[in-house]
Each structure stands twice: as C-alpha cells, then as structure tokens.
C-alpha cells in the first residue's frame, strides 16, 4: 500500500504570549499533530482551548515559541518572513468566520485578489475567478459588493477566494459560526465537494460536534493540549 504523504507535521509546539512578564501566558502546551495529504480534519474544543492559536501557527500567520513545524516538507520555523508570505499565498487558502472580504470591491475582484498578488495575468485571473464563483453557486452575484450579499453568500465568495491559487490546504476557522444552520449546511457541502472532487486537504476549526463528525478525523483540544484524536464519519459525505 502506498504510504500517505504528510503535509502538516507539528511536533511539541509551544506558544506563549507576554514572554518574560508577570502575566506570561502559555496557550499551547506542546502540540503534536500530523495531517496527511487529502485529509479532511476537524479541530474542536471550547473557547480558550487554543484552536485559533493553533490555526494561526498552521497558517504561518504566527510563529510558535518553540517546537518543530514542517508544511509540505518545508521547515516553517527556519523560513524567513518573505518565504512564509509566498507559502501563504500559494499553498494555503484561508476561510474565516468574519469573511474578511474587501468592502468596496465586488465578489469577482475579491476572488481575483490572491491571484493579483501571485502575478497571474489579468484575463486568466478573471476567468479563474468566474469559474470559482460558479463552483460555489455565486455566478449570479459576481458584480455585487459584500454589503449586498447575505452572510452565506459572503462565505461562499470567501471560499472561492481561498481557492484562487489552487492551494493544497484550506484552513477554515469557524466558517459556519456566523451562519444559520441551513446556510451552514450549504457551506459544509462546498467543503465536502472540494475535498471529494479536488482532493483538497482541509483543516476545519469548529465549535460544532455535529459538523466535526462529518470529517475524516476529529482532534480535540483542551487547555492547549490534544486530548483525543478519533475517526469521524467522513467517508459518508
């Protein structure tokens, strides 16, 4: 049997804030986590368990205080800031609870933005953005500004934008947190489609045990430690 490729490899990751001050705070207490290519993984835990801090480290938006981290074979601890910026743009697609769309820019231009930074030619950029908005069912809203879209529509635009540079990994931090259950279901169905049809590696942070259960593996954090890793029902979706 072919050995699966490890795409995220965290070893003994510790993250402290306010280092050297009386209110020094350790948020991650030594996280070990491996995610394999093509996996759909959920990270669950109560508020304050360290989920978002872990996500920021995986996405190289923040650096750990100590530990080892390799992303697709690249040593992320030793990488320079300029290298990390390129890796974020090319290898990782981010989806946030708050959408993070550019307010005065329509859906099409929002999706084009990561490709602009990656130096993709204008025509090719627009074609790709249109394809992605169609993929998430937003082909009729391409020229709408974020303020003209519902929460679920904004999140679908955000997913299309995350896919712009065809990243290997999608990091989704509470992507259904601000949505009602039926809209959240629609967003989850898009993630399942990307996972199933395009083989994307997806790491989903969620408060919802029901949504977490839909993934291949459920990783539970408590007080900055991994307390359990178990199989989900991913194959059923």
User: Minimal CA–CA distance to 12: which of 49, 45, 57, 44?
Assistant: 57
Rounded CA separation 95/162 (Å): 6
pTM of the model: 0.92
Taking the C-alpha atoms of 163, 166, 169 and 175 in order, what is their torsion angle to the nearest 10 degrees? Answer: 0
What pLDDT is attached to residue 2? 54
- Kindly state the average pLDDT of the residues 112-117: 93
What pLDDT is attached to residue 1? 43
- Kindly state the average pLDDT of the residues 67-73: 95
HSE-up of 38 (CA within 13 Å, CB side)?
Answer: 8
pLDDT band for position 207 (cuts 50, 70, 90)? confident
Class for domain 38-60+84-236, per CATH?
alpha beta
From start to end of the chain, where are the E strands?
6-17, 25-36, 40-44, 66-71, 74-75, 92-96, 169-173, 201-206, 217-222, 225-231
Q: What percent of the chain has pLDDT over 70?
A: 98
Q: CA separation (Å) from 83 to 89, 90, 152, 165?
A: 10, 11, 33, 16
- Residue ranges of domains in the chain: 38-60+84-236
What pLDDT is attached to residue 208? 86
Mean pLDDT of the chain: 93
What pLDDT is attached to residue 143? 97
pLDDT(152) > 90: yes
Of 237 and 165, the one with more pLDDT: 165
User: Minimal CA–CA distance to 7: which of 61, 116, 82, 87?
Assistant: 87
- Kindly state the average pLDDT of the residues 106-133: 95
């Amino acid at each position: 049997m072919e050995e699966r490729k490890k795409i995220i490899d965290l070893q003994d990751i510790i993250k402290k804030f306010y280092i050297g001050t009386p209110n020094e705070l350790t948020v991650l207490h030594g996280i070990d986590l491996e995610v394999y290519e093509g996996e759909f993984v959920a990270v669950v835990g109560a508020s304050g368990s360290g989920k978002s801090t872990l996500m920021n480290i995986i996405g190289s938006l923040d650096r750990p205080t100590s530990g080892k981290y390799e992303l697709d074979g690249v040593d992320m601890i030793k990488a320079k800031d300029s290298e990390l910026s390129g890796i974020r743009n090319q290898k990782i697609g981010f989806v946030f609870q708050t959408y993070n769309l550019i307010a005065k820019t329509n859906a099409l231009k929002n999706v084009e933005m990561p490709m602009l930074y990656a130096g993709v030619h204008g025509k090719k950029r627009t074609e790709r953005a249109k394809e992605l908005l169609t993929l998430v069912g937003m082909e009729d809203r391409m020229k709408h500004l974020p303020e003209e879209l519902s929460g679920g529509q904004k999140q679908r635009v955000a997913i299309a934008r995350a896919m712009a540079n065809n990243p290997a990994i999608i990091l989704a931090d509470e992507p259904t947190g601000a949505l009602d259950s039926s809209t959240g279901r629609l967003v989850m169905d898009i993630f399942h489609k990307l996972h199933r049809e395009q083989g994307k590696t997806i790491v989903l942070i969620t408060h919802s045990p029901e949504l977490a259960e839909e993934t291949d593996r459920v990783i539970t954090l408590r007080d900055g430690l991994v307390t359990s890793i178990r199989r989900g029902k991913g194959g059923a979706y």
